[in-house]
Structure 1
Amino acid sequence: MKFEHLVEINDLENPMIEVITREQLWRGLVLRAESPKMFVSYIDQCAITDRTEVSMTREIQYGNLLVKDHVSIVHNDHVHYQVPAQNDIKASSLRMSIEEPEANRLFVRFCYDDGHTAEEDETNKMYDDYRRAAYHEADVDTVRMIRELAEGGLLNALMN
């Protein structure tokens, strides 16, 4: 299943919504990679096992399931999660890219690829429809959390 969608960050037509900066949004996306338990309630534990300025390798525990992944970071542009094939898990990826078609009009494009073939996608169509809805909801929750952190000034403090 390949799936992508946009989530709007700043609604410039609504003066009641605080405008967050690209840097705040970026820091929130990186924070989601560094501290995923803040964003995903069913993660039991996450350990960063290797880190550079542009990537990290993580081990994430979901109950009895341990998933290892690699996160690549391009400053102020995107965060790319890659899960290599392991045990019963196929290789998959998620890319969260910041888009700014005009000043302060920010979006995040979420692009998923579960590594399935077209035939597998057809077989899993009903299940994939459910997954798309769940991914969309989780992504909206991610943006909501980033917005709360930014509005509370927490992403500003982390940027210094």
Structure 2
Amino acid sequence: MNFEHLIVINDPGNPLIVPLNRRQVWEGLLQRVYHPLPFLPGLESCTLLQRDDAFLRRELDFGAARICDRVTMAVEEWVHFEIEPGEQHPGGSLTIRIEEPAPEQLCLRFIYATALAAEDQAYIDYIKSAYQQSDIDCVQIIRTLAADGPRQ
């Protein structure tokens, strides 16, 4: 299953949305990489297994399931999570891209690729809805982090 959607971060036409700059959004995405517990419900711990100039490899402990992923990124542009296939997970990927379709308008594009077959449409619809809600929550956490100021 491939799925993508866009969440608007800044909309100059909507005064109710507190604007964030690209750096604040990027810092929030880095928090998702290095401190993912608030972003992933059910996550008990995250262990950094390997780190070099090109990628990170992490083990995510969800209690009953342990998942390893590989994270690559381009500064202030995108983050890519590649979930390694294993006994407890078929693998897949998520790319989060910072987009600026117009000046002062920032968006996050979430792009998912999973091993789920399109056989059960109700299940696929449920998964898509869960991904969207998780991504809305991610943006809310990024907004909260930005309002709290830089992390030490």
Same fold (TM over 0.5): yes
Deviation at 1:151, TM superposition (A): 1.9
Moved over 3 A (4+): none
- Distance, in Å, in 1 between the alignment partners of 2:111 and 2:30 is 16
| Structural mapping, 1:66-105, within 5 Å | 66-105=66-105
Quick check: 1:42 aligned with 2:39? no
- Distance, in Å, in 1 between the alignment partners of 2:127 and 2:23 is 30
| Structural mapping, 1:8-157, within 5 Å | 8-116=8-116, 120-121=117-118, 123-154=119-150, 157=151
Q: Secondary structure at the match of 1:42?
A: coil
Kept after mapping to 1: 8 A contact 2:55/2:70:
yes
Q: Which has the higher helix share?
A: 1
The answer for unaligned runs of 5 or more in structure 2 is: none
The answer for unaligned runs of 5 or more in structure 1 is: none
Q: Calculate the TM-score normalised by the size of structure 1.
A: 0.89
Deviations 1:71-118 (A, max 9, x none): 0011111000001211142120000001001222000000001034xx
Equivalent pairs counted in the alignment come to: 152
Kept after mapping to 2: 8 A contact 1:22/1:104:
no
Kept after mapping to 1: 8 A contact 2:49/2:56:
yes
Deviations 1:119-141 (A, max 9, x none): x21x1221110000000000000
Deviations 1:138-159 (A, max 9, x none): 00000011011112223xx56x
Overall identity of the aligned pairs, in %: 34
Q: Secondary structure at the match of 1:7?
A: strand
Kept after mapping to 1: 8 A contact 2:67/2:88:
no
